[in-house]
Structure 1
Amino acid sequence: MVELTGCSLSLDEAKRVIYGKEPVELSPLSMERVRKSREAVERIVKEKRVVYGINTGFGKFSDVLIDADDVEELQLNLIHSHACGVGDPFPENVSRAMLLLRCNALLKGYSGVRPVIVERLAEFLNKGIHPVIPQQGSLGASGDLAPLSHLALALMGEGEVHYQGDVHQTLTVLSKENIFPIQLQAKEGLALINGTQAMTAMGVIGYLEAEELAFQSEMIASLTLEGLRGIMDAFDEDIHLVRGYPQQVATAQRIRDYLQDSKLTTKQGELRVQDAYSLRCIPQVHGASWQALDYVKEKLEIEMNAATDNPLIFDDGEKIISGGNFHGQPIAFAMDFMKIAIAELANISERRIERLVNPQLNDLPPFLSPQPGLQSGAMIMQYCAASLVSENKTLAHPASVDSIPSSANQEDHVSMGTIGSRHAYQILQNTRRVLAVELICNLQAAEHRGTDLMASKTKQFYEEARKVIPSITKDRIFSKDIEKANQWLQQTTLSTLIKPTKTKEETTNG
């Protein structure tokens, strides 16, 4: 059980709720803050004070006063008019993450919603009712208005939801679960949609997968080092300590750990003096990607516990401020940074693939073919990897440098953070497939060298991978192998096979 407080949700807890379906409970202290915040909104309505979002229009209509009798219709109209997302729906786990993050944000007690709104979000989570939410249509400022409106529709009994492995009309599922649709009251529609939970949820899913893939990339690179008889001197701890980046030091240490008893790796001068950059600079390149991922993690954990709607209610309603916490710029930057970091793992992987298949760069069979000439072997797999890497380069263009004014120029600078988060996830999928190709190739290279000469840890990984990817004894439809390897990597946690060794710094710091 994960207790939500609005202030302490971690990525590890989010992972348990999103993937492990661990139930959530609401902190009583936080729920008391929610009740007090709601009381403030109800006083404002009763006293007929003019406050943006409670009894005014929205955006450019912020100066239009709404009659007290119309405040509920105002919220209904807001959700209906803003639910204009388009395109394929977000993956179901992203929808689940959005419910979690929105629930946690409202628990902070600055939004003025009734407790039932927060309770219903938690109930949807615990019963596995996940709104169908189109991916496209958010500018990433004024909040993720379109995606979150589709989430709000589900609370109202409208739209569609994922439920028990299929898509259903929301009202049908609510009836089955004896849940009544909510009729939104003053401020509640705006509080539900004015936030960054779509881009942040997509970012959380992307980060969790990226973190695992980054660990896997080091193991895959280690197998390539064996297949190419790489020089281990370049991974000596002294080299990395004198530069000073902890992530670079950690990457080098993990690779030394994976390869410590290998009889395939070499020493400086044994076969050649030095390796190409794609082998020699693995700690520097992968380590830099880890630096970026650490930055992303920090920003996501702040945003997961942030009050991001507008206006915000302070001092029991004595201070209500209309600001801009809904602006997604911090997450937009983080997502663009993650795009570049993951794309680089693919870039360097593709260069290692080239070194595995190009007979001018190694002493392996040309293109790892079982019968060079008659059979093409891995030749076109390298083409596929190169294509994905090139596609990543276009997707890695930063979304955050773009902005289009909206709402009659009232909202004249936006973040495009949701686009950045979606593109980061696309890059991640492409990168995993590039690494899948490298894995197929280095398994074949290791087999050619002699698996009995492999390090004990890389051999263990080799044996697990071979259960999914058979040896290349004849040309076949390699698309199927790439997809099998991709799915295996997506579903496999490296620590369940090989537990990464902590660095001295990590051990000292606990």
Structure 2
Amino acid sequence: MTAVVELTEAAPTVADVVALADGAKVSLAPDVLALLAESRAVVERAIASGKPVYGLNRRLGAGRDTAVDPSEFAEFQRRTIANHRGGVGEALTLREARALIAARLIGFTRGGSGVRPELAQAYAGLLDRGVHPVIPSRGSVGAADLTQLAEVAAVVTGAGRAFDASGAIVDAATALAAAGLSPIELAPHEGLAVLSSNAYSIGVGSLAVTEARSLTSVADLTVALSLEAVAASGPAGNLSPYSALVSDARSGPGQQASAAAIRAAIWGSVLEQPDRSVSVQDPLSFRSAPQIHGAFRESVDRAYSELDRELAARTDNPVVDIASDSMASGGNFQALPLALAFEALRLVLAHVGSASERRAAAHSLALAPARAAGETRVPGLLLYSAASAVAELRQLAAPATLGITTLSGVEDHATLAPVALRLLQRSLALTGEVLAIEALHAADALRVTGGAPTGAATAPTYAALDALIAQGHASADLVPAAQNLLATQL
């Protein structure tokens, strides 16, 4: 049975965006349809009043004080969409495209856009009927994701391009007809309203932070497996740094959650034996894992919070306000807090990856004699791939959001949130690779030493990794397979 996400006046969530990206249908509740009608009525009254309003009866950008004659309204909407189709680069994946459309549709339902209910229904139709616009990934500078949203609007109006069921690119009219949909003509103000959103950063960002949250658990599980590995070959694996006593002494919620997750993963293992001979202190990459991963967890929580704020907000420019029966120009499209959350995540991922590579290096060094004797199964130079990934992670951690001057000297500062997001996606992929390489080294070390993890999560994880390694995959296939395996163990 296909899931359905009902959009109501209640605050939407990241989970709603992810569900729609993954194929759920969408339903607009009666209260939302009523809100859309009220919002549109404000726009119609603004048209009738003749009061100057940006993007309604005044032009855009440098032409913001030039009047648009009512006889030009229809053509102005068409030109607005055509002029903003300036994106370049590879197309968004179908899942990313759906996330973007979902985020813009959610924005409509907050009441600040002033679009007609039928336009919102047209966007819902793209999701429900599987019409996926071809959306170039680059072009937005984070002052509303104009270029990406212009491609969605072009398809809705029958002028763009979309993927058909086979993945081939067809013109929008063909794609709409195949889905049983018809193009819609934009009403006054809608040409700007469909563009006035950070829907790429919000939609695709929702996918990224969901992946990041899963990766926090993978990171903790990987550390637990590494602890099993070092304990099997000597007195390493001191559990004191993961104790509630240490975590509570600092009281950071991320650290407390990470330490608890690691303790849960090794519950029932030999690491917990009170009479085990153990070193008083392990290297920092081991004993500081709860602090590093705790910072990761807290950065993910911050990104979730910013996304939830954006999803619930009215960020349109101009924003339609039903209570005051007005349209007000503003800068709510400058989602700098969200952009900075993406920046922070990239920085903390560099720390997570760096510590993971150091633990993998410790395993690799311990495996050197066995490797020389031909007793290992994981290539020694797989560690080089981890080192290469960490070098890239460090570069990706550099700031991307410092604004630049853009078109016409009017739009003279931007957040560059989409750039920060694309770099975050790359950082997530690289960190996942590094953690998988660490886990593979830990599994190889356990096999060589004859260790048999008995921890609640480490035992089944080791068994699955050992079986995977035994299949003899090339490293290029082994690492992504290990990434998938770790995710399924959560």
| TM-score category of the 2 structures, normalised to the smaller one | over 0.9
Give the whole-Å Cα distance in 1 for the aligned partners of 2:343 and 2:241: 30
Q: Are 1:44 and 2:46 an aligned pair? A: yes
Query: In 1, are the aligned partners of 2:378 and 2:469 still within 8 Å (CA)?
Result: no
Which residue of 1 is the match for residue 425 of structure 2?
Answer: 425
Q: Are 1:310 and 2:307 an aligned pair? A: no
Mark the CA change 1:114 to 1:126 in structure 2 (over 3 Å): closer, same or farther. same
Which residue of 1 is the match for residue 382 of structure 2?
Answer: 381
Q: Are 1:240 and 2:247 an aligned pair? A: yes
Query: In 1, are the aligned partners of 2:376 and 2:444 still within 8 Å (CA)?
Result: no
Which residue of 2 is the match for residue 124 of structure 1?
Answer: 126
Shift of 1:113: 0.9
Give the whole-Å Cα distance in 1 for the aligned partners of 2:155 and 2:485: 34
Which residue of 2 is the match for residue 485 of structure 1?
Answer: 482
Mark the CA change 1:316 to 1:250 in structure 2 (over 3 Å): closer, same or farther. closer
Q: Are 1:455 and 2:452 an aligned pair? A: no
Shift of 1:176: 1.2
Q: Which of 7, 11, 28 is the equivalent residue of 1:8?
A: 11
Give the whole-Å Cα distance in 2 for the aligned partners of 1:377 and 1:307: 52
Q: Per the alignment, in what secondary structure is the counterpart of residue 24 of structure 1?
A: strand
Q: Which amino acid aligns with 1:274?
A: Q
Mark the CA change 1:104 to 1:449 in structure 2 (over 3 Å): closer, same or farther. same
Mark the CA change 1:125 to 1:469 in structure 2 (over 3 Å): closer, same or farther. farther
Give the whole-Å Cα distance in 2 for the aligned partners of 1:145 and 1:183: 19
* Structure 1 segment 14-25 matched on structure 2, within 5 A: 14-19=17-22, 21-25=23-27
Which residue of 1 is the match for residue 234 of structure 2?
Answer: none
Give the whole-Å Cα distance in 2 for the aligned partners of 1:304 and 1:210: 19
Q: Per the alignment, in what secondary structure is the counterpart of residue 351 of structure 2?
A: helix
Mark the CA change 1:375 to 1:448 in structure 2 (over 3 Å): closer, same or farther. closer
Give the whole-Å Cα distance in 1 for the aligned partners of 2:167 and 2:468: 28
Q: Which of 337, 340, 357 is the equivalent residue of 1:330?
A: 337
Mark the CA change 1:351 to 1:62 in structure 2 (over 3 Å): closer, same or farther. same
Give the whole-Å Cα distance in 2 for the aligned partners of 1:252 and 1:109: 43
Shift of 1:377: 4.8
Query: Bigger CA drift: 306-315 or 206-215?
Result: 306-315
Q: Which amino acid aligns with 1:2?
A: V
Query: In 1, are the aligned partners of 2:125 and 2:181 still within 8 Å (CA)?
Result: no
Give the whole-Å Cα distance in 1 for the aligned partners of 2:466 and 2:131: 38
Q: Which amino acid aligns with 2:42?
A: A
Percent same amino acid among aligned pairs?
A: 29
Give the whole-Å Cα distance in 1 for the aligned partners of 2:108 and 2:378: 56
Q: Per the alignment, in what secondary structure is the counterpart of residue 369 of structure 1?
A: helix
Q: Are 1:280 and 2:280 an aligned pair? A: no
Q: Per the alignment, in what secondary structure is the counterpart of residue 273 of structure 1?
A: coil
Shift of 1:317: 7.0
* Structure 1 segment 360-439 matched on structure 2, within 5 A: 362=366, 364-366=367-369, 369=371, 371-372=373-374, 377-400=378-401, 402-439=402-439
Query: In 2, are the aligned partners of 1:212 and 1:494 still within 8 Å (CA)?
Result: no
Query: In 1, are the aligned partners of 2:141 and 2:414 still within 8 Å (CA)?
Result: yes
Q: Which amino acid aligns with 2:288?
A: C
Query: In 2, are the aligned partners of 1:343 and 1:428 still within 8 Å (CA)?
Result: no
Query: In 1, are the aligned partners of 2:229 and 2:451 still within 8 Å (CA)?
Result: no
Q: Per the alignment, in what secondary structure is the counterpart of residue 113 of structure 1?
A: coil
Which residue of 2 is the match for residue 155 of structure 1?
Answer: 156
Q: Per the alignment, in what secondary structure is the counterpart of residue 11 of structure 2?
A: coil
Mark the CA change 1:337 to 1:163 in structure 2 (over 3 Å): closer, same or farther. farther
Query: In 2, are the aligned partners of 1:153 and 1:159 still within 8 Å (CA)?
Result: yes
Mark the CA change 1:90 to 1:414 in structure 2 (over 3 Å): closer, same or farther. same
**1:259-306 alpha-carbon deviations (Å, 9 max, x no partner):** 121125777982422100111111111111111111111111111222
Give the whole-Å Cα distance in 2 for the aligned partners of 1:148 and 1:453: 51
Q: Which amino acid aligns with 2:107?
A: A
Query: In 2, are the aligned partners of 1:232 and 1:267 still within 8 Å (CA)?
Result: no
Mark the CA change 1:471 to 1:64 in structure 2 (over 3 Å): closer, same or farther. same
Q: Per the alignment, in what secondary structure is the counterpart of residue 468 of structure 2?
A: coil
Q: Which amino acid aligns with 2:417?
A: G
Q: Which amino acid aligns with 1:486?
A: Q
Q: Which amino acid aligns with 1:82?
A: H
Query: In 2, are the aligned partners of 1:451 and 1:459 still within 8 Å (CA)?
Result: no
Give the whole-Å Cα distance in 1 for the aligned partners of 2:344 and 2:316: 25
Shift of 1:69: 0.9
Give the whole-Å Cα distance in 2 for the aligned partners of 1:104 and 1:235: 41
Which residue of 1 is the match for residue 262 of structure 2?
Answer: 255
**1:103-158 alpha-carbon deviations (Å, 9 max, x no partner):** 111111221111111001111112222222111111101x1111111121111123
TM-score (norm 1): 0.89
Q: Which of 92, 96, 99 is the equivalent residue of 2:98?
A: 96
Q: Which of 84, 99, 113 is the equivalent residue of 1:82?
A: 84
TM-score (norm 2): 0.93
Q: Per the alignment, in what secondary structure is the counterpart of residue 169 of structure 2?
A: strand
**1:149-177 alpha-carbon deviations (Å, 9 max, x no partner):** 11211111232224435143222221112
Instruction: Give unmatched runs, 5+ long, in structure 2.
Output: 232-236
Q: Per the alignment, in what secondary structure is the counterpart of residue 409 of structure 2?
A: coil
Query: In 2, are the aligned partners of 1:199 and 1:417 still within 8 Å (CA)?
Result: yes
Q: Which of 204, 207, 216 is the equivalent residue of 2:206?
A: 204
Q: How many residues align?
A: 481
Mark the CA change 1:394 to 1:7 in structure 2 (over 3 Å): closer, same or farther. farther
**1:286-342 alpha-carbon deviations (Å, 9 max, x no partner):** 111111111111111111222121111223673211111111212111110111122
Q: Which amino acid aligns with 1:152?
A: A
Query: In 2, are the aligned partners of 1:160 and 1:167 still within 8 Å (CA)?
Result: no
Q: Which of 192, 195, 217 is the equivalent residue of 2:194?
A: 192
Query: In 1, are the aligned partners of 2:131 and 2:179 still within 8 Å (CA)?
Result: no
